[in-house]
Structure formats: C-alpha cells, structure tokens
Amino acid sequence: MVGIKKVEYGKKQVLSTSDAIAYAVRFCEPKVTAVYPITPQTWIAEKITELINNGEMDSELILVESEHSSCSAILGAAATGVRTFSATSSQGLALMNEVLHVLSGMRLPSVFAIASRALSSPINIWADHSDMMNSRDTSWIQLFCESAQEAHDTIIQAYKISEKALLPVFVVVDGYTLSHVYEPVFIETKQKVKSFIGDYKPTHAYLNPKKPMTQGPIGYPSEYMDFKLEQQRAMNKALNVIKETNRKFKIKFGRSYGNGLIDERVRSKRVIIAMGSMCTTLRGLEKKYKKTKYEFSLIKIKSFRPFPKKELLRALSNATDIAVIDRAMSYGNAGPLFIEVSSALGEAGYRKRINNFIVGLGGREARIKDFEFIIKNIGRESYWINVNGGKNISFSAVI
Amino acid sequence: MSKYPVIKKVGNTKEYKTGAWKTIKPVVIPEKCIGCGKCWVFCPENCIYETTKNGKKIFEANLDYCKGCGICAEVCPVKAIIMKEDEE
Amino acid sequence: MGLPKEEFYVSGARNCAGCGFPTIIRIVTKAAGKNTIIVNATGCMEVVSTPYPQTAWKLPWVHAAFENAAAVASGVEAALKKLKKDANVIVFGGDGGTYDIGFQALSGMMERGHNVLYICYDNEAYENTGIQRSSSTPKFSWTTTTPIGKKIRGKRRWKKPITEIMAAHGSPFVATASPHLHMDLFNKVKKALSIKGPKFMKVLSPCVIGWKIPSNKTIEVEELAVESGVFPIYEIVNGKLTINYKPKKLRPVKEYLMMQGRFKHLNEKEIRSIQERVNKYWDYLLNLEKLDNAFFV
C-alpha cells in the first residue's frame, strides 16, 4: 500500500507519513540506498523503491539480505564519500547495532528513518521507543517527530545536520501510530531542497585511488579514548548545529519545531515531558486544562541525542512538578527519558518533584483517560499506565 | 593524532623497524645468486630488494625489516642464502 | 619473476615471521594496480596492517567489522557506480570472516551481482583470536576449540566446500590459488578483474602459529598441499570447471600432514580417512571437468 494518488510538489496534500518521508528523501538525493524489509518501516522502503524503479529518484538501490548488511553497505558507501539513506525498525535496528557504533565511530554522515517499534520478546510490531533506547549510546543523533510534516522536514534538516556534525542521524516516527497515518503535508520542491542542503563533499574520509587513505584502523588504548572524546565533542557541537539548521529551515521554508532541540511554549509550574506522536494528544489536553486546577505545559523533546540539557533546564526553571512520559523501559531502573531528565536536574542541583509514567509499550493504547490520570498526578508517584486490565500500577507496587 | 580515525600517510608502517624481531638473519652469497628474484616474491616483509654487486644483479634483504623467518633461504633455487645468528 | 615492481603493501606490518598472507596481498595488489579500493574484514590481516597511526596499505582501504566486509564492499561498489568512477573493489576476508560469520553477507553480495572480487585468505582457523576452529578447518585438525582429547580428537567435520558454494551462486568467475604458484595467482586476479560481476577466490594462506610449522616452511607447505591434492588448483568460469594444475602423481597426504604440528597426533586410520577423502574429491573434480557446465550460471 504505497500512497493514494500522484504527489504534487510545492503543494499541501494528504499523504501517509511514510510517503512524506520518502518524498523528502527523494530530493535529498542519496546516491546509495539500502533497505531490508521490517514492519512497520516497509511503507517507507516500498515508496523509495517505487520512486527509484520509476526513474524518479536517482539512487543506487541495494536490497540487502539483512539489516546488519544494510547498515554495512551504507557504511561502505558513506566511506567512499556519498550521501546515503536507509530505514528500519525494532529488531532490524537491534541487529545492526554493532555497525551503528562503527559507522558513527568512523565519523561518517548518514540519515536513517526509523519507524519506531517494540523489541521482542514477545514479538510485537507496534509502536514504542525501545528500539531507539537500545540505540541510545551509538553516537547517532536522534530526532523524534510528532507529525508527517515534521518527519518530512526533519529528513531534509537531518542531511544538513549530519554532514555538518559528521555524525549520523536517526529521524524517528512512531511505528504505525505515525508512520501509517495520513496527514496534510506540504511536500517541498527539488530546487528548494537542493538549495538548502547542497552536495556532500567529504574532505575527512573518502575512498579514492587518486588520494588513498586507510579508514577503520585499530585504535590502541593510547588512542581510542581520544577519538571517543572527539565524538562527544561533535555531539556537543551538534546541539548548535541542530538549532541553527532549524532556524535556517524556518527562514527558507517557513516551518520550525521549537528551537530544533525542544519545543516549549509556556513555562508553568506543572510540566509534562514527552517525545513522539503523543505530544499532539498532550497539546490538546494542555488546552483543555488551561486555567484549571490541573493546568500544565508540555515540553516536547525532539532531540533525544544530543540531549538538550541546557535548554531543558532553562525550560524547567519555573517548574515545581514534572512528569516524564516514557515509551520504553530500562529494566532494573526506570524509563530512559526520566533517567536523563532526573540526571540533568540532579547535576544542576535543582530540587523538583519529578515522576515517571511508562506508557504505550508494544502499542498498548494510551487513552485520554490515561493521559488525564497522568495530568492529575504530575510530580507524585511513578506508574505503569493501563496494565493488567486497565490498571495504573505504581512503581513501588511492581514487586 | 588526527580528529578522525583515518590514516592519510599511506605506507607509514615503514617507520616501524620490525628487524628488531629477528634472531637469525639472511646472508646472501653474491657469487651463487642468479638474480631470479624468487626471494623477493615470497618474503612476507617485502624487505628483499634488487641491487648490484660486482656488476651482477643480485637480491639482498633489508635487515631493518627482516623478521628472520627464513623463507628466502628455503625458496632460493640455488641455496645462495644462508641464515646466520643475528648478533644484535 | 614476472611480477610488476610497484608495491602497494609495504614493510613494517605486525604479522608473525613467516606469515602466508603478506605475499598474497603483494601479488594480488600488483595484479590489481593503483586503481583499486580494498575492503578488509576483521582478522589477522586487518589487525597487523593498520595499527593506528600507521598503515601498511598504499591503496584506499576500509575496515568495518568482522562479518560484513562483503556488505561494505557492496556499498562501496554502489557508490562508485553512482559517482561514475571506475575502480577495482577487492575484499580480503579470512576463513572465519568468509565461511562462517561473513557467509551471509558474502552470499548476499554474490546473489545481488555486485562487481566485486572477494578473496578469502584461507588459514583454516580463527588465527587472530588464538587458533579456534572455523568451518574451513580440516577434519581431525587440532585447534584450541578442537583439542585432541581422550574422547574427541580434533575437528569432527570435513572442510566446508566454499568454492563450490560460491560457484553455485552463478558467479562468472570462481577459483582457488596458492601463493607458491605466484603467476597463477597473479593471472587469476587479472582475469577476475577483467570480468564484470561477483567473483570469488580462495587462496591458501598457511599460518605458522596455527598450523605449527617452522616459520621458513610456509611456501613448502603450500607446495605439498597442492601436490598432494589436499588443495586442488582450479577455476570455474561461467560454470565450466577447469583444473589448472594437475600433478603427474598425487603425493601421499601423509607427507603434507606430518609437516604440521596441528596434525601430528593423527593415527593411521585417520590418515587413511583423509587420503580416501582427497582421492574421492580429486575424482569428483575430474568428473566435473568433463561437463560443459558443472555449475548452473
């Protein structure tokens, strides 16, 4: 199922998020694309292959035999010195995990679209963020999207960010909940996209017989850690690269997403922090509860990596009660986003009431009444939401 | 050390003199050597080089890199290479 | 000696004295020339040749991980295609990174038909990690994971027929070679690089430490491997198999086996078993040679 009708560039139309991503990738013109099928990424892969086979997208397509090989083939192409693209989800992202570290360690740029899906076991094809959290330390930039338009726009921004920071980028949409949803999207034209991102012309790493170099050598204890420090340096610089790209994107295309790292609009005392498509629902509830006892404001985190500590702490300056919603769990502790936010607050010496809600694992429904429970319990106990037959179970009761 | 794990000075392992590894070293008998180059083909360290002695083309080993494996002496068709104790 | 003088792989690498593969690298890169990109799987070759900040390679070279050299090469080849740049893409993988963990990526690369020459330098075990058994290890061989015990003596399975498996993928060129027949290896690489499509070569690469031979016996052990029929030299071009080197009479395998410490424990029954297998395989190859297309392309 790959789109309803012929796309119109430079116009707004109703498309699936997967199609919107594919059309954005098309004009970014990656010279090499590698894909392996996995639900729910398949709509993205199918649209891209349709565009390539129709001659509408000029990219060398490698239909690899596993995700480990798709990331590896992308690595080879990026090491040669060209722009690349791939897409995956869940088990596929987990399978290529080893190569993710290698690719970023080699400081090669790339952009992968992820239709975020739960990790087995049990096997589950629906949305949650466990696959992204599993890739947390891979030194890939992670940008979470809330809408089809944002996904389309973030793909374009991602190429610019990746090639400036020399770090690869994940553009994340919730599997099914966003990837397969139809929304109005303005699809930008080739000329505008190309003039925004330019060409990829590597000077630091390429494979050219005229100027030979060795990529991927051994790093002894006397060297390895210094390279890793460079990666962290690049991640820190990437915070500004992301903000700048978002700002320039607004100037050229008229759309922006917060400051590129986080989206905060009002600084109230009660705050909910979340990522991904549920932010849209929360924004609706934000309006509903405005000027009531349960008034709260939403801080949407777009860039999970690099983690926007400074911006987040500033946004929380008025907050007294904070709820962090996680769509993943770090078993043996708490939700990963909660851990990130708590550590930022702790490090800064801020004392605020903060709690964690584990929501929507494996596509478990997050109903309005679930969000309302969260809104009414910001800063109190931490809960697993809508489990064991519609119950909310507090962390301390999970024994 | 560069910022990126990339080596642009190609072939610079030559800065590392593996000759210190050997305990025996190859000695070429120039009179016997027929200049066939078989030792040059099969030396794993690529340290055998062509030279001339008394107007004759012969091959010799660069002891800076020779690890003393003894392959050159083995493959020489006329046994013009002898492995001797390396005093250093 | 028939080989061009220019070197693309220099001295100073950290391989063991007497190692088999530096000679392979030199002969292969001399045949391939300057316009070549090397993709290397994790293993002895990669480790000894690129100790940052030094590299023994004068060609563009990339290493990613253990099992994905063929996939990385697929990406390099695709990028070159799109850049409209013409260069040889050669993969070097050990037997571990080819027969076992790299098998899937290699099969994928062969099936998709990338214009890449994959060369397996076969030292018949995971030598870099300390001599563990791979599916390329010969039956009965000692390795650290197939020790000679009271109950089980050495590796229990015969060597995986990787060359035939690659030929069965429909590759236009698949061959075996041994460095001691250096012009055969040189010419095979030249021939392979003149053919478009996915090519595979298996090259014998003795390991002084793993095979337990004196460091000066590398070339001699290669010779005996070929002369005894343990390592036949043949090529399969568009499905047609031709044995390139036929010894007048096969030397007894015992001569080859007893040169190596990894086989010194063998009893008469085991040696007989190996001899039978070698004879059988040699007859099998002779039969395949009679066919126009031993493999379907």
Reported as a single tens digit per residue, the pLDDT across A349-371 is 999 999 999 999 999 999 999 99
Rounded Cα distance between C226 and C198, Å, is 26
Chain C residues closer than 8 Å to B64 by CB: 11
Contact B8 A223 (CB under 8 A): no
Q: How would residue A1 be classed by pLDDT, with cut points 50, 70 and 90? A: very low
Q: Which tens digits make up the pLDDT trace of A74-98?
A: 999 999 999 999 999 999 999 999 9
Chain A residues closer than 8 Å to B1 by CB: 223, 226
Question: CB contacts < 8 Å between A and C, how many?
Answer: 156
**Mind telling me how many Å the CA of B9 is from chain A's nearest CA?**
7
For residue B7, give the nearest of A106, A107, A214 by CB distance: A214
Give which of B21, B15, B13, B16 is closest to B69, Cα–Cα: B21
Instruction: Answer with the one of A216, A235, A253 that is the final residue of a domain.
Output: A253
Question: CB contacts < 8 Å between B and C, how many?
Answer: 115
In a domain, A2, yes or no: no
Instruction: Answer with the one of A253, A286, A314 that is the final residue of a domain.
Output: A253
pLDDT at position C123 is: 97
* Cα B77 to Cα B39, B72, B80, C34, distances in angstroms: 9, 10, 8, 31
Instruction: Answer with the one of A215, A230, A253 that is the final residue of a domain.
Output: A253
- What SS3 string covers chain A? CCCCCCCCCCEEEEEEHHHHHHHHHHHHCCCEEEECCCCCCHHHHHHHHHHHHCCCCCCEEEECCCHHHHHHHHHHHHHHCCCEEEEECHHHHHHCHHHHHHHHHCCCCCEEEEEECCCCCCCCCCCCCHHHHHCHHHCCEEEECCCHHHHHHHHHHHHHHHHHHCCCEEEEEECCCCCCCEEEEEECCHHHHHHHHCCCCCCCCCCECCECCEECCECCHHHHHHHHHHHHHHHHHHHHHHHHHHHHHHHHHCCCCCCCCEEECCCCCEEEEECCCHHHHHHHHHHHCCCCCCCCEEEEECEEECCCHHHHHHHCCCCCEEEEEECCCCCCCCCHHHHHHHHHHHHHCCCCEEEEEECCHHHCCCCHHHHHHHHHCCCCCCEEEEECCCEEEEHHHCC
Residue A2 clears pLDDT 80, i.e. is over it:
no
Contact A68 C105 (CB under 8 A): yes
Same domain flag for A84 and A133? yes
The mean of the pLDDT values for chain A is: 96
The domains found in chain B, sorted by start residue, are 17-85 (3.30.70.20)
Contact A65 C36 (CB under 8 A): no
A101, A139, A227: best mutation site toward chain B, by most B Cβ within 10 Å?
A: A227
Three-state SS at A240: helix
CA geometry: angle C258, C259, C261, nearest 5 deg: 80
Chain A residues closer than 8 Å to B3 by CB: 107, 204, 230
Chain A residues closer than 8 Å to C37 by CB: 80, 207, 209
Q: Which tens digits make up the pLDDT trace of C100-146?
A: 999 999 999 999 999 999 999 999 999 999 999 999 999 999 999 99
Chain C residues closer than 8 Å to A58 by CB: 82
Chain A (23-52) residues lying within 8 Å, Cβ to Cβ, of chain C: 31-32, 34
A57, A96, A218, A220: best mutation site toward chain C, by most C Cβ within 10 Å?
A: A218
pLDDT at position B2 is: 85
Contact B38 C1 (CB under 8 A): yes
Asked if residue C110 lies in contact with residue C171, where contact means CB atoms within 8 angstroms, the answer is yes
CATH H-level superfamily of C21-290: Thiamin diphosphate (ThDP)-binding fold, Pyr/PP domains (3.40.50.970)
Determine the structural domain holding residue A330 and report its residue range: 263-397
Q: Would you state the structure tokens that stand for residue C271, as one six-digit string?
A: 């040696």
Q: How would residue A145 be classed by pLDDT, with cut points 50, 70 and 90? A: very high
Q: Which residues are CB-neighbours of A177 under 8 A, at least 6 positions away?
A: A126, A127, A276, A277, A363
Chain A residues closer than 8 Å to C34 by CB: 209
Same domain flag for A309 and A206? no
Three-state SS at C262: helix
pLDDT at position B1 is: 74
In a domain, A3, yes or no: no
Contact partners for chain C, using 3 or more CB pairs closer than 8 A, are A, B
Asked if the C-beta of C148 comes within 8 angstroms of chain A's C-beta atoms, the answer is no
Same domain flag for A234 and A274? no
C-alpha C111: how far from chain center: 20
Q: Which tens digits make up the pLDDT trace of C235-261?
A: 999 999 999 999 999 999 999 999 999
Least confident of A128-137, A238-247, A271-280, B1-10: B1-10
Chain A residues closer than 8 Å to B6 by CB: 106, 204-205, 213-215
pTM: 0.95
**Mind telling me how many Å the CA of B65 is from chain A's nearest CA?**
21
Asked if the C-beta of B10 comes within 8 angstroms of chain A's C-beta atoms, the answer is yes
Q: Would you state the structure tokens that stand for residue B1, as one six-digit string?
A: 């050390």
Rounded Cα distance between C281 and C160, Å, is 13
For residue C13, give the nearest of B13, B69, B73 by CB distance: B13
If you measure CA to CA, which chain B residue comes closest to C22?
A: B44
- Residue C107 gets which letter from DSSP? H
For residue B6, give the nearest of A215, A223, A226 by CB distance: A215
Residue A290 clears pLDDT 90, i.e. is over it:
yes
Same domain flag for A178 and A213? yes
Contact partners for chain A, using 3 or more CB pairs closer than 8 A, are B, C
In a domain, A5, yes or no: no
Q: How would residue B88 be classed by pLDDT, with cut points 50, 70 and 90? A: low
Counting the structural domains of chain A, the total is 2
B6, B8, B12, B13: best mutation site toward chain A, by most A Cβ within 10 Å?
A: B6
Q: Which residue has the tokens 């100027």?
A: A211
Asked if residue C135 lies in contact with residue C159, where contact means CB atoms within 8 angstroms, the answer is yes
pLDDT at position A215 is: 98
Same domain flag for A102 and A58? yes
Chain A residues closer than 8 Å to B7 by CB: 213-214, 217
If you measure CA to CA, which chain A residue comes closest to C78?
A: A60
In a domain, A6, yes or no: no
Domain CATH number, residue A304:
3.40.50.920
Contact A205 B6 (CB under 8 A): yes
Chain A residues closer than 8 Å to C73 by CB: 76
Read off the pLDDT of each residue in C21-34 and give the average, rounded to a whole number.
98
pLDDT at position A208 is: 97
Asked if the C-beta of C272 comes within 8 angstroms of chain A's C-beta atoms, the answer is no
Residue A177 clears pLDDT 80, i.e. is over it:
yes
Q: Which tens digits make up the pLDDT trace of C198-211?
A: 999 999 999 999 99
Contact C19 B14 (CB under 8 A): no
* Cα A59 to Cα A19, A55, A93, distances in angstroms: 17, 9, 22
Q: How would residue A4 be classed by pLDDT, with cut points 50, 70 and 90? A: low
In a domain, A258, yes or no: no
Contact partners for chain B, using 3 or more CB pairs closer than 8 A, are A, C
Phi, psi for residue C203 in degrees, rounded to 5: -120, 130
For residue C55, give the nearest of B2, B7, B68 by CB distance: B7
Domain CATH number, residue A156:
3.40.50.970
Q: Which tens digits make up the pLDDT trace of C283-293?
A: 999 999 999 99
Asked if the C-beta of C6 comes within 8 angstroms of chain A's C-beta atoms, the answer is no
pLDDT at position B87 is: 80
Q: Would you state the structure tokens that stand for residue C195, as one six-digit string?
A: 């053919």
